[in-house]
Structure 1
Amino acid sequence: MSDGEKPGNAIRLTKSQRLAWLRLIRCDNVGPATFRMLINRFGGAEAALEALPSLAERGGAKRRISLASLDDVEREMATAERIGARFVCLGESDYPATLREAEQAPPVLAVMGDAAVLAQPAVAIVGARNASLAGVKFAKKLAEEIGRAGFVIASGLARGIDAAAHEASIATGTIGVMAGGIDRPYPRENQPLMRQIVDGGGAIISEMPFGWEARAMDFPRRNRIVAGLALGLLVVEAAQRSGSLISARLAGEMGRLVFAVPGSPLDPRAGGANQLLKQGAILVTGAEDVIEALTPLDGRLPLAGKLDFGEPTFEPATDEPAEGERERILELLGIAPVSIDDLVMQVVASPAAVQLALLELDLAGRLERHSDGRVSIVI
């Protein structure tokens, strides 16, 4: 085994492959699902980059797709190195073990801190930014006790419950997920907390480019990573309409356990958690409720295996849509999300041909992919 190799059920990218992966995910209209389809179809990021313009044109793009330049990603890598961060790609040994099983797993993550915590079983703790003092104290107690039981605590580095969970688990291991670039902390007041996490042996991660200022639409994307990192997600105080409920929904869609702490019906900050309990979330009055439910699930973490080299190929597909099939697919798509399996049945085409037509529409900016795997057309 040469220098730098690590055991694990993983691939190992060369420097040029890593640059190509970063270029591909930074291109217009390329998200996690599209990235995976491109790698599947073309066998590598370099070949996918060459194919992007023609794919987007066939999908009806109104302008030429913008490709990230090699200079851009080399500058981003230099920035990462300067602040002590690095890039980890999907399938590599340092990629978070549980997150890589998620359908919308980010192909590339910027990581600052000790990547060892990313391989440990995790519990996500999320909740209100305007948390009550009682909520903050209980979140800290839960995080501390769950951490002592051997679980890393993951959260979104927000004010309130998130910050409390991170603070209480620095000693046992915590992962902070950012909605913007790692060099753009939000909120700014949590920058010292980020430093404490890194210095304390935890990790800060983000899928967003360096220099990226978090926008409203970026927080649900962050929430899916928080949910994907963990075996279970615990909500401590959340209003009826809140990002914490989005996190809980995403966790449920991923097959994670969802926990909630009950609260007073008179407190609006408890409305969301109480709603989750009505919908079947596991009631939590102490850390033992979470620990007992999750301990049997530790075995779901991927087992160590052989280290491979090169880019992964998943299920390569080469079928092209037959004459008229692209038009039929476009005709069937509307603003209401539909499943890809239903499209395949209606079009009576091969799954690979339908996936290629959807890929072309996606790269042209005409397709929206939903968290449950369904798709709709962008009007």
Structure 2
Amino acid sequence: MNSSNITHPAHLSDEQRIDWLRLIRSDRVGPHTFRSLINHFGSARTALERLPDLARRGGAARPGRICSEDDARAELAAGKQLGVMLVAPGEAGYPPRLAVLDDAPPLLGVRGAHDVLMRPVIAIVGSRNASGAGLKFAASLAHDLADAGFVIASGLARGVDQAAHRASIGGGTVAVLAGGHDRIYPPEHEDLLATIIESGGAAISEMPLGHVPRARDFPRRNRLISGAALGVVVVEAALRSGSLITARIAAEQGREVFAVPGSPLDPRAAGTNDLIKQGATLTTEAADVINAVEPIMGRPIELREPDDEPLANEPDAGDRARIVGLLGPSPVLLDDLIRMAGTSPAAVRTVLLELELAGRLERHGGGLVSLI
């Protein structure tokens, strides 16, 4: 999509939305790959036509499944019955800060009040087995931030997440789902989600209807929680917890990271105390968050022009062999790969795209890639 200020959002036609949905629902096409394909071919329809050839060049024995037009139309129709609309970056209901990320979902399933997603968002996350004090603080903080005009985003999980949602329902809260809109996890929070929607809040997901969340889906979900927000507050988190993954992703996205201190004797506070040592803003009240984010709230948000170079038409055999030979199971930085390959960035990106569509490449955070 071309660069566009959020006050003048881009709008997909019905046919474009079908093509975009078909492309992102096709095998081995994630947000990064989607973006590269659109940049190179100019449209999702042309990219769909070229997928089999690109996968073949990448070494696939047979091309991956390409989502059919019938399946795409069926998903759109089923979503509408549930009240879910699929929106693109720049359209109303797509969180503007999420839209500028390189791995923003091309289409985001939105259910509920679209306007709440356009307001300033603060994410609150934390332990699923939080202490009574942690739950009380999360609720108090969420309530105070909502009173100050912020929308609270969280993951609808047990513990801190649900406390933050419940305390901010009156001011608008956003549940970010790891599965499809019809596969709520945990199931006992279906009533909480219904209350959020009925009270002027919203739920978002990049997953198709029917998708049951798996362990690997939660870090992917976490990037949406932090990506939509000005900053992320971690209330309680053990070392090596999902909340710390959210904090790490938030830092990589350039978001403010806040941490609530806890007793050094409580393992549920070990992660938050460590975040403070690493430079996260120590947070004991809503004012700590508000004072930190106020200076950046007024900055204009624009959908950036994609910084990817156009893909090469087709790298020669020597370039392709050299690039593949430099890859292995250990992740390598894209910039280092380009330098070592001694060829153009466009040629390297083309080979990586072919490998990804063949199911042979894995992308990691921070611009790292490796062979599967």
- TM-score (norm: length of structure 1): 0.93
2:129–2:159 CA contact under 8 A, matched in 1: yes
| Alpha-carbon offset, residue 313 of structure 1 | 7.5
Q: Deviations over 1:139-182 (max 9, x none)?
A: 01000111111211111110110011111111111111000000
Q: Deviations over 1:92-147 (max 9, x none)?
A: 24311000112211111110001111111111100001111111111010001111
Choose between structure 1 and 2 for higher RCO, CA contacts under 8 A separated by at least 6 residues: 1
User: Where does the alignment leave 5 or more consecutive residues of structure 1 unmatched?
Assistant: 1-5, 305-311
1:43–1:316 CA contact under 8 A, matched in 2: no
Deviates further, 344-353 or 201-210: 344-353
Structure 1: how far apart are the matches of 2:14 and 2:306?
A: 18
- Aligned partner letter, 1:346: M
- Map residues 1-379 of structure 1 onto 2, 5 A cutoff: 8-302=7-301, 317-319=310-312, 320-378=314-372
Q: Deviations over 1:218-264 (max 9, x none)?
A: 00000010010111100001111210000000000011111000111
| Alpha-carbon offset, residue 36 of structure 1 | 0.3
- Aligned partner letter, 1:32: P
Structure 1: how far apart are the matches of 2:195 and 2:82?
A: 15
Deviates further, 56-65 or 20-29: 56-65
1:39–1:313 CA contact under 8 A, matched in 2: no
User: Cα distance 1:316–1:19, how it changes in 2: closer, same or farther (>3 A)?
Assistant: farther
2:6–2:90 CA contact under 8 A, matched in 1: no
User: Cα distance 1:316–1:11, how it changes in 2: closer, same or farther (>3 A)?
Assistant: farther
| Alpha-carbon offset, residue 74 of structure 1 | 1.2
User: Cα distance 1:313–1:268, how it changes in 2: closer, same or farther (>3 A)?
Assistant: closer
User: Cα distance 1:301–1:93, how it changes in 2: closer, same or farther (>3 A)?
Assistant: farther
User: Cα distance 1:314–1:10, how it changes in 2: closer, same or farther (>3 A)?
Assistant: farther
Structure 1: how far apart are the matches of 2:49 and 2:307?
A: 20
The percent of aligned pairs where both chains have the same amino acid is 56
Structure 1: how far apart are the matches of 2:295 and 2:151?
A: 16
| Alpha-carbon offset, residue 323 of structure 1 | 3.4
In the comparison of the two structures, how many residue pairs are matched?
366
Deviates further, 29-38 or 73-82: 73-82
- Aligned partner letter, 1:269: R
Q: How large is the RMSD of aligned CA atoms in angstroms?
A: 1.6
- Aligned partner letter, 1:22: L
Structure 2: how far apart are the matches of 1:239 and 1:301?
A: 36
User: Cα distance 1:7–1:35, how it changes in 2: closer, same or farther (>3 A)?
Assistant: closer
2:6–2:301 CA contact under 8 A, matched in 1: no
Give the 3-state SS of the residue equivalent to 2:22 in structure 1: helix
Structure 2: how far apart are the matches of 1:24 and 1:216?
A: 24
| Alpha-carbon offset, residue 8 of structure 1 | 2.4
| Alpha-carbon offset, residue 301 of structure 1 | 4.6
- Aligned partner letter, 1:329: I
Deviates further, 92-101 or 43-52: 92-101
Structure 1: how far apart are the matches of 2:322 and 2:23?
A: 29
2:309–2:345 CA contact under 8 A, matched in 1: no
